[in-house]
Amino acid sequence: MKPIDFSKEDKAALIGRIQHFFDKELDQPVGLLKSELVLDFFAKEIGAAYYKQGLQDAHAAFLKRADDLADDIYGLEQAARD
C-alpha cells in the first residue's frame, strides 16, 4: 500500500483532533510534535487495516450491485419473451 499523504490542511486538522482527544478524554495535553508522531504512527501502522476493510466493504457492495443488475437484466429478458 502506498503511504497515506495528507494535505497540510487535513494534517493540521487531524493533529488538532488528536490534541483535543488527549486533552479532553485522557486529561493529558500533548504538544504538536507528539501529536504529529501519533498521527504518523496510526497512518502507517493502523491505517492499512482500515483501508483494507474499506476496500473489502466496497468490493462486497460492488458485487451486490452487480448481482442486482444481473437479476434486473434477467427480468427484462423474461419480460421480452412473454
Residue 69 has pLDDT above 80, yes or no: yes
Residue 53 has pLDDT above 80, yes or no: yes
Q: Output the pLDDT for position 4.
A: 82
Name the DSSP class of 27. S
Q: Which three cell numbers stand for residue 43?
A: 497512518
Q: Give residue 63's pLDDT band: very low, low, confident or very high (50, 70, 90).
A: very high
pTM over 0.75: no
Within 8 A by CB and 6+ apart from 44, the residues are 3, 4
